């Protein structure tokens, strides 16, 4: 009794404010880098910032692109001009109504080198696509013209790492032009950011939600149902679990291995959804040993992928050897084609390749957010069982990324961030190694197909291209995609309406907290 009374007293003191009872507390594994959309960023930063800002278009629940600040988007017959009709009544957090002049100002700012926008090279012709002109013919219309047709234009505009080309108010900048704080149009606005501790977002009462009966990715209904959302930076997994169990935290991502334990906690529920993040084993085709495709094929056949995926994902994941994520509209029967575990074929391929028992180094890291290490452990055991010697080299993440960027590895257990359009997904790992040493797949034919897929908008034609790419990739085995990350969140049962989704980022709109 005494304990409980003390507990209540202390808990009230700890919460420090009555509003805390209606605050959703979300754990992040690290602090955000900035509040400047698409500039100084990482995944955590995008997740938080996209509660405060919005773009003209955004991703739907299934990864398709739909209007967000735009009411509709029309494309000219030559597929060069995109006209965005803006939604009326959309206000910034400072109460000013958004017009096309704001969109124009933002675009100009993003395309200035000094802004350091991550995605400037995606639109200025350096990578391929080039926006040749923009115009705001009237307050409700914004027009963008491309140099060449591009099937990826809207998808790139919606990308989360580009911050959806967020439209912020001019007052987001200081007098000297440097960034101050995001005055966006999102359902939440910035409350307080204590670096290394938390970011607090407050409900924006003047928010104009996009049309829709329910939440739909980053579009659809987006009402803020609670007055405050707090993202807390907590690096230690054990502390996160303690926070969830105690009720101090309402949402957290925890490693798959901890899910069974969390499922047993009465006040918690485990929610999951497949995401577009891809876990893979990279095989360096420029390595003297792995340069032989038979050697790479032998490795692919040596792996019992279903078993590997089950163990690495704690039985949450499903094997997917495709670069297209499982819930994508482009995930066809062809994309389901996969490598088969075949010890007899391994023996034959190893003999043909003249394998003499050389040891293959497999690089992995121990970050809790990816299954790099468990994948490496399982793969090594399976390779060993098939007569292929391998050795795991555990590196710290920055060191592994450096080796990846330079192509300095034999095998690597690696995860690619979510790319929703298949062409973007292939672009992550395919390209000439002489120019881009980090690319895992150096195939001229593949690059031609990907190039076509970035231009052609017709879905049927694109499907054919992606299917051909998949077959080509399986035959060449430059890397072995294992499975798509299952985005799992441990959530308090008090939380109502929360759901993980394909973009692997928490959404706290349309989410309530029961008393």
Partner 1 sequence: MLRFALTRILMSVPTLLIVSVAVFGLIRLIPGDPASLMLGDLATPASIADLQARLGLDQSVPVQFGIWFGNLLKGDLGQSINSQQAVLPLILQRFWISAQIVLVAVALASLVAVPAGVLAAWKQDTSLDLSLVAVATLLLSIPTFWLGLLLLLFFGLKLEWLPVVGYVSIAENPLAGILYLVMPIMTLFLHEIGVILRMARASTLEVLRLDYITHARAKGLTESAVLWNHAFKNAFGPTWTLIGLVLGNLLGGIAVVETVFTIPGLGRLLVDSIFARDYPVIQGCMLFVAFTYVLVNLVIDLCYPIFDPRVTAQ
Interface with partner 1 (CB under 8 A) = 3-4, 6-7, 10-11, 13-14, 16, 25, 27, 30-31, 33-34, 40, 42, 116, 118, 121, 126, 161, 194-198, 232-236, 238-240, 242-243, 245-246, 248-249, 396-399, 401-405, 414, 416-417, 428, 435-438
Residue 61 or 161: the one with the smaller Cβ distance to partner 1 is: 161
Minimal distance in Å, beta carbon 9 to partner 1? 9
Round to whole Å and give the CA distance between 88 and 211. 12
The candidate with the shortest Cα–Cα distance to 153, out of 176, 123, 127, is: 123
Least gap, CB of 40 to partner 1 (angstroms): 6
**Tokens standing for 86?**
């803006």
Question: Residue 489 CB, nearest distance to partner 1 (Å)?
Answer: 16
Residue with tokens 């659809």: 220
What is the distance between the alpha carbons of residues 101 and 207, in angstroms, rounded to a whole number? 20
Q: Which two tokens stand for residue 109?
A: 């700012």
> Which lies closer to partner 1 via its Cβ, residue 6 or residue 475?
6
Residue closer to partner 1, measured from CB, 336 or 403: 403
Name the H helices within 67-210.
Answer: 100-111, 120-123, 153-158
Q: Which residue's structure tokens are 């970011």? A: 199
Residue 90 or 163: which CB sits closer to partner 1?
163
CB of 178 to partner 1, least distance (A): 9
Which ranges of 430-458 does DSSP label H, i.e. alpha helix? 444-455
Q: How far is the CB of 232 from partner 1 (least distance, A)?
A: 6
- How many degrees, rounded to 5, is the angle at CA 328 between CA 458 and CA 456? 20
- Which of residues 69 and 420 has its CB atom nearest to partner 1 in the complex? 420
CA distance 162 to 215: 22
CB of 280 to partner 1, least distance (A): 11
Place of tokens 């000297």: 176
For 265, other C-beta atoms within 10 Å of its C-beta total: 15
Helical residues (DSSP H) of 361-421, grouped into ranges: 372-385, 397-406
Radius of gyration of the chain measured on its C-alpha atoms: 24
Q: For partner 1, which is the closer residue by CB, 70 or 119?
A: 119
To the nearest whole angstrom, how small is the minimum distance from the Cβ of residue 82 to partner 1? 23
Output the CA angle 371-377-288, nearest 5 degrees: 100
Nearer to partner 1, 63 or 243 (CB): 243
For 1-33, the DSSP string reads -HHHHHHHHHHHHHH-SGGGGGEEEEEESS--S
- Say how far apart CA 417 and CA 422 lie, in whole Å: 13
Whole-number minimum distance, CB 230 to partner 1, in Å? Answer: 9
For 322, other C-beta atoms within 10 Å of its C-beta total 27
Min dist CB 435 to partner 1, Å, is: 7
Judged by beta carbon, residue 12 or residue 475, the one nearer partner 1 is: 12
> In the bound complex, what is the minimum distance in angstroms from residue 470's beta carbon to partner 1?
20
Q: Which is nearer to partner 1, 222 or 278 (CB)?
A: 278
**Distance in Å, CB of 233 to partner 1, minimum:** 7
d(C-alpha 388, C-alpha 273), whole Å: 35
Q: Residue 305 and residue 55: Cα distance in Å, rounded?
A: 39
User: What are the structure tokens assigned to 159, written together?
Assistant: 């990308």
By DSSP bridging, strand 57-59 and strand 65-67 are: antiparallel
Nearer to partner 1, 6 or 385 (CB): 6
Q: How far is CA 155 from CA 143, 203, 237, 340, 510, in A?
A: 17, 28, 34, 33, 24
CB 51: neighbour CB atoms within 10 A?
A: 26
Q: Closest CB to partner 1 among 4 and 444? A: 4
């Amino acid at each position: 009794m005494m304990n409980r009374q003390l507990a209540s007293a202390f808990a009230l003191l700890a919460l420090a404010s009555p509003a805390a009872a209606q605050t959703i507390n979300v754990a992040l594994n690290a602090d955000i880098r900035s509040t400047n959309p698409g500039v100084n960023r990482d995944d955590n930063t995008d997740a938080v910032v996209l509660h405060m800002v919005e773009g003209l278009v955004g991703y739907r629940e299934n990864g398709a692109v739909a209007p967000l600040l735009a009411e509709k988007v029309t494309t000219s017959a030559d597929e060069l001009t995109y006209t965005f009709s803006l939604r009326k009544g959309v206000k910034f957090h400072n109460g000013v109504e958004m017009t096309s002049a704001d969109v124009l100002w933002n675009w100009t700012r993003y395309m200035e080198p000094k802004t350091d926008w991550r995605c400037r090279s995606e639109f200025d012709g350096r990578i391929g696509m080039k926006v040749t002109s923009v115009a705001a013919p009237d307050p409700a219309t914004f027009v963008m013209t491309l140099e060449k047709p591009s099937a990826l234009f809207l998808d790139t505009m919606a990308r989360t790492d580009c911050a959806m080309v967020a439209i912020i108010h001019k007052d987001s900048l200081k007098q000297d032009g440097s960034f101050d704080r995001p005055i966006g149009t999102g359902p939440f606005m910035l409350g307080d950011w204590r670096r290394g501790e938390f970011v607090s977002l407050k409900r924006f009462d003047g928010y104009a939600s996009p049309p829709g009966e329910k939440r739909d990715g980053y579009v659809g209904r987006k009402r803020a149902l609670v007055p405050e959302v707090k993202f807390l930076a907590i690096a230690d997994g054990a502390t996160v679990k303690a926070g969830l169990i105690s009720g101090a935290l309402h949402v957290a991502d925890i490693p798959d291995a901890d899910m069974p334990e969390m499922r047993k906690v009465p006040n918690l529920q485990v929610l999951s959804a497949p995401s577009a993040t891809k876990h893979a084993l990279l095989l360096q085709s420029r390595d003297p040993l792995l340069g032989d495709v038979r050697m790479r094929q032998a490795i692919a056949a040596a792996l019992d992928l279903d078993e590997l995926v089950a163990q690495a994902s704690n039985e949450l994941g499903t094997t997917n050897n495709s670069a297209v994520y499982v819930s994508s509209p482009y995930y066809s029967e062809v994309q389901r084609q996969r490598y088969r575990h075949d010890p007899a074929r391994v023996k034959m391929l190893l003999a043909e390749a003249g394998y003499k028992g050389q040891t293959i180094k497999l690089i992995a890291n121990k970050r809790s957010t990816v299954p790099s290490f468990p994948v490496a452990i399982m793969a090594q055991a399976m390779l060993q069982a098939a007569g292929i010697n391998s050795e795991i080299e555990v590196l710290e993440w920055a060191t592994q990324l450096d080796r990846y960027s330079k192509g300095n590895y034999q095998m690597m257990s690696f995860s690619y961030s979510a790319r929703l359009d298949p062409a973007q997904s292939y672009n992550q790992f395919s390209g000439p190694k002489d120019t881009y040493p980090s690319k895992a797949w150096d195939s001229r034919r593949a690059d031609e197909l990907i190039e076509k897929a970035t231009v052609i908008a017709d879905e049927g034609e694109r499907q054919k291209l992606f299917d051909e790419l998949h077959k080509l990739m399986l035959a060449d085995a430059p890397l072995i995609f294992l499975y798509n990350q299952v985005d799992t969140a441990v959530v308090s049962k008090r939380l109502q309406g929360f759901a993980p989704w394909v973009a692997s980022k928490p959404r706290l709109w349309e989410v309530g907290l029961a008393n």
